Structure 1
């Protein structure tokens, strides 16, 4: 079971169908799933790239639900299949639309005989997202990225689901298709000078704390690269960081979009979970 889909299974109250997970309890942010891992009701079956084949074989497991990372380890997929498992590769991370990711809950509804529950949960998220997206635009441009170990900015392709969530929340993504066309994947790495020229005037920065958890303060942030202190959003005190668990929370898509909207419009942020303003 891949980490990103835990929330879908948990929302359907279908955790008792899961024998093993590739995520340890300490690394899991989905409450029900974390509890099951902690109690041993769901066992840790090893990392996706190095599963515990002996334990998996002994468990009687017949289905392995993997994300697209399994494509980088075809030998693992082949070994699981030789053990008699059907390997299902869920591709929610490749969805260009935010609600497209959430709609994967319908697949799990079919797998676990909870189709009505899945449809209800999806429609609930859809209605909330449509309500927020119908509000007036904030008029704010938004840059979303993290700084890698080489000092380069890793951002998201324009049109990617993260960029779309920013648009649905009333923001305008700071990079366009031409500026993020250097790769076929969802992430785009830009040398800092190029990224600065493109995004320096963004009204708001959202730092990707899901990938880089080392940024707790504004000083931590500007310490990543000397050019960051010259960004408009930094000078104006409009830098935010995401929670480490944001990517694991597909069923909270509407909440995340609501928080983005609040950050863009200056709403009360006291009960935010997925975004925090750096000071």
Structure 2
């Protein structure tokens, strides 16, 4: 009963939202008005009639418009998680704070503040600006009431006496746990940098310093005990939120990518290395840098990728060196050949990687499949996942046979094992940026750290081309190029078939071929009659809180759908700009119903859930799906669990979609839900 009492306000708010949507659905469907009841007498008959009338009225309300309702407070989204009942454990976590009783809590995700029910939560916050020495505690307390949000800011120092937000001053309290400064400030947006000022007294006189704070709406954990308001999060809460974020990022193919891109700014800016970035989110590159003792021979052109550059240098003995640059030169890696002199290049702006690699540690799961494709599996000694966590056959087999060892996940590597066996490179996703102390520790032990940004590429071919980076790192350039060209040709064939299908549907043939979408090409395609004639598809999933999440229109999954001849249909998120790195975004049930009720095909993403076993399994998540055209016509598909790890199989997925649109056949990742 104690747990039920704690969760009552949150559950009540979600239930109220469900009832509001029940009213919306009745209006849309035109439900019949209830017949007026006759007044009844006092006495024994009243006690008999009251339960009967209540039962009949409830039955009528729950059956409006012919919807099927299971354990829901109305015809809205089914609320699960507060009392258990969720089929997937990927978005739930055991959260225990203070002396509160531990129980399974639902992890929520929101795209805007207006969507968040009143209540107290834990939220992740990122601080940038200043000298880089100060930090704030994350996750932190986050409080919503009547659409207004406030958040605690716990500083790493006692020397902050106030903050200013939009010109308003908020004085600090002293945190009783740490002795450090703490303020509670208003939050105006999620996933958007908010400019603040903090006054420090650490120097000879007070100074106001400019910072930005970004609050991550993708993972919110309801605070189980209001008594923990304004306190620091426990280790259990931190672990629960971290696990939920990792799974979410892995699923989206954007492992750890933040709201702001590296090297990006709202206005044009210049970095100290000469790299510039523009407000439209496009990276620009300066000339390849001079390196002492080496001569630049050439810079390799990219086919579609924009986030890496490879340049070839030569030393006095004629040995070739490769410079790998990431994100406009933000990160630079010098690949030193077997007989080259690594110690001769101690430029602090360069991470030196001595080749050949033989005992690498792969913590970025999305890089494993392409590494195996080019024949580099034997050079990977350590894994950030256990054998049962891999869907990449070569990796799972290598671990089962002892050729590859588990060395801890990216946030908690087994340093002793890595040192004992001589790890020569750590391949990390951008999630490592949330754990800077781990990166620093690895580097202090002499293990170079490479951070992969392939998920930042805006287009399919750009993501695929990163196999050339892995080829350069592991000495398999030829195999990487061959694989890339083969997969590119397969995608081209799928796209040709998709364009021909659109031409037949429209009766003309005016579609421009090209694998990577430009903004102009997207706009032209969207406005063409051929695009309108294409079958519509939405790619989505329902999380354990009953929220619906879809892919942004600019994500690579919708691009693959369009290549195959479909038109992606999902509610547009007007509040999410081009610089936002989120791919899975939460939409309201109302918007999803309005936008997607008449969609031709539904594809359910099983990465953070289990694959749909039947149509009934979908209806159990929300009975409103019974109204959808795709459900009524039997055009519902589900992905397999392995899709997110097999980042090298984009052509397979595009072929699956083409098969789905043309009437069936064997598929790699998709399964027809009967």
Shift of 1:206: 0.5
Distance 1:180 1:29 in 2: 35
1:38 and 2:38 equivalent?
no
Q: How does 1:135-154 map to 2 (within 5 A)?
A: 135=497, 136-137=500-501, 139-154=534-549
How high is the TM-score relative to the length of structure 2? 0.40
1:21 counterpart residue number: 383
Partner in structure 1 of residue 566 of structure 2? 171
Is residue 155 from structure 1 mapped to residue 517 from structure 2 by the alignment? no
- Counterpart in the other structure of 1:194: 591
Cα contact 2:375–2:476 (8 A) shared by 1 = no
In 2, Cα distance between equivalents of 1:266 and 1:214: 21
Shift of 1:261: 0.7
SS state of the match for residue 273, structure 1?
A: coil
RMSD: 1.7
What is aligned with 1:257?
Answer: 654
Higher mean C-alpha deviation, range 229-238 or range 164-173? 229-238
Q: Distance in 1 between matches of 2:430 and 2:635?
A: 34
| Structure 1: tracts of 5 or more residues without a match | none
TM-aligned CA distance change 1:103 to 1:82, over 3 Å: same
Which TM-score applies when normalising by structure 1? 0.93
1:236 is aligned, of 628, 633, 638, to 633
- Equivalent residue number for residue 53 of structure 1: 415
Select which of 398, 420, 425 maps to 1:63: 425
- Between the aligned partners of 1:239 and 1:157, the Cα distance in structure 2 is 20
Counterpart residue number, 2:157: none
Q: Distance in 2 between matches of 1:67 and 1:244?
A: 20
SS in 2 for 1:41: coil
Find the aligned partners of 1:21 and 1:170 in 2 and give their Cα distance. 38
Aligned equivalents of 1:118, 1:184: Cα separation in 2: 27
Q: Which residue of 2 aligns with 1:119?
A: 481
Sort the Cα spacing of 1:6 and 1:254 in 2 relative to 1 into closer, same or farther, 3 A. same
- Cα shift at 1:89: 1.2
Partner Cα distance (2:479, 2:424) in 1: 24
Q: 1:275 corresponds to which residue?
A: 670
Provide, for residues 175-234 of structure 1, a one-character-per-residue CA deviation record: whole Å limited to 9, x for no partner.
265558376412111122222222222110110012212532211112112222222111
Are 1:88 and 2:450 an aligned pair?
A: yes
SS in 2 for 1:240: strand
Question: Contact (CA 8 Å) 1:94, 1:186: kept in 2 or not?
Answer: no
Matched, 1:211 2:608: yes
The number of residue pairs the alignment matches comes to 277
Please state which structure has a larger fraction of its residues in helix: 1
- Distance, in Å, in 1 between the alignment partners of 2:447 and 2:384 is 15
CA distance in 1, matches of 2:541, 2:574: 16
User: How far 1:57 sits from its partner (Å)?
Assistant: 2.1
Residue matched to 2:663: 266
CA distance in 1, matches of 2:482, 2:593: 43
Q: What are structure 2's unaligned runs of at least 5 residues? A: 1-361, 503-533
More strand per residue: 1 or 2? 2
Structure number with greater Rg is 2
CA deviation map 1:63-93 (0-9, x unaligned): 1111122223222222222222222111222
Secondary structure at the aligned position of 1:247 is classed as: coil
Q: Is the 8 A contact 2:552 2:584 kept in 1?
A: yes
* CA deviation after TM superposition for structure 1 residue 13, in Å: 1.1
